[in-house]
């Protein structure tokens, strides 16, 4: 795919940002890793991310809050230190307990701001989010993680993707693309095909699939059908870009992060 021409600087929104996506952008894309100002901002943000973590490993005894903090640490600290590993283990234990009891309820959009997941039924958010976090922190080969992946994938094989809400399929894709074995798995190809059947002429996947999050997930894959969908979605990005260089309406920095990350994954920026 040819490099994408953009009318406005897409990196502008990240300059001086102290959020986890902003700090990631300043390090990886703006090459500020050795600048003292970024290092000071990094230290302050990471300190805040670790605050209010209980001895059990959860933050505020909340699975959703813990998912937020761990994702922020992934964008900043990056590596799985002992504290993060303990938090992942506790998160996995709590989610397995909730799965066994078939915990009900909903996760609402305002609870997922700055996260790459779509709102929906509680288990259809927290199970793939937990798998995703284990994958990005290089814990994909852990036996408990593999067991939860297998349980999740087996339930899909026995059922039908069409029986799930679109948001649930999206969240599963996020978990699958970050696992070294499942990224090329038959179930992942089935999910990508499901997305292909839903993609519109405008390049999106319908109202219940978050456009920027889905584009970012598909751009993680080395799969022809995923690349075809990305190309259709990339074609509309220039028209969606704001004059300040950003994308999105309510979460401009986050949406811009997802877009740039997808473009750079494909060598288009």
Rounded CA separation 51/119 (Å): 26
Q: Supply 254's token pair.
A: 């986050």
The per-residue pLDDT for 201 is 95
Q: Is residue 172 situated within a structural domain?
A: yes
The per-residue pLDDT for 2 is 75
Q: Is residue 64 situated within a structural domain?
A: yes
Q: Is residue 6 situated within a structural domain?
A: no
pTM assigned to the model: 0.95
Total domains in the chain come to 1
CA dihedral of residues 160, 71, 113, 90 (deg, nearest 10): 70
Q: Is residue 3 situated within a structural domain?
A: no
Q: Is residue 47 situated within a structural domain?
A: yes
Residue whose pair of structure tokens reads 């952008």 in the numeric block? 25
CATH code for the domain in which residue 202 is found: 1.50.10.20
The per-residue pLDDT for 157 is 64
Q: Is residue 4 situated within a structural domain?
A: no
Q: What Cα–Cα distance (Å) separates residue 214 from each residue in 134, 174, 193, 194, 252?
A: 20, 8, 13, 12, 16
Rounded CA separation 139/7 (Å): 40
> Model confidence over 73-82: pLDDT tens digits?
999 999 999 9
Domain span at 119: 12-102+114-265
Q: Is residue 2 situated within a structural domain?
A: no
Q: Supply 192's token pair.
A: 């990508």
List average pLDDT for each run of 10 residues in the chain, which is 269 residues long: 87 97 98 96 98 96 97 97 97 94 93 97 96 97 95 79 91 96 94 96 94 98 97 95 96 98 96
> Model confidence over 255-269: pLDDT tens digits?
999 999 999 999 999
The vertex-20 CA angle with 19 and 26, nearest 5°, equals: 85
Q: Is residue 22 situated within a structural domain?
A: yes
């Amino acid at each position: 795919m040819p490099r994408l021409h953009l009318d406005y600087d897409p990196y502008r929104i990240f300059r001086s940002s102290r959020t986890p996506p902003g700090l990631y952008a300043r390090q990886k894309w703006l090459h500020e890793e050795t600048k003292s100002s970024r290092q000071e901002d990094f230290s302050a943000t990471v300190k805040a991310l670790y605050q209010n973590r209980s001895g059990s490993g959860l933050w505020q005894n909340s699975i959703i809050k813990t998912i937020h903090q761990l994702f922020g640490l992934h964008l900043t600290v990056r590596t799985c230190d002992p504290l993060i590993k303990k938090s992942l283990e506790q998160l996995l234990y709590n989610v397995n307990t909730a799965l066994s009891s078939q915990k009900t309820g909903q996760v609402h959009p305002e609870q997922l701001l700055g996260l790459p997941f779509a709102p929906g039924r509680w288990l259809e958010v927290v199970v793939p989010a937990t798998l995703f976090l284990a994958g990005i922190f290089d814990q994909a080969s852990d036996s408990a993680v593999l067991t939860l992946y297998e349980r999740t994938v087996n339930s899909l094989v026995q059922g039908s993707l069409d029986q799930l809400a679109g948001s649930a399929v999206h969240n599963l894709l996020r978990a699958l693309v970050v696992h070294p074995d499942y990224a090329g798995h038959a179930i992942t190809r089935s999910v990508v095909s499901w997305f292909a059947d839903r993609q519109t002429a405008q390049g999106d996947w319908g109202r219940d699939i978050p456009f920027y999050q889905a584009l970012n997930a598909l751009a993680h894959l080395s799969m022809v059908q995923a690349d075809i969908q990305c190309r259709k979605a990339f074609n509309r990005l220039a028209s969606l870009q704001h004059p300040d260089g950003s994308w999105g309406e309510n979460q401009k920095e986050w949406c811009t992060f997802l877009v740039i990350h997808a473009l750079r994954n494909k060598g288009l920026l």
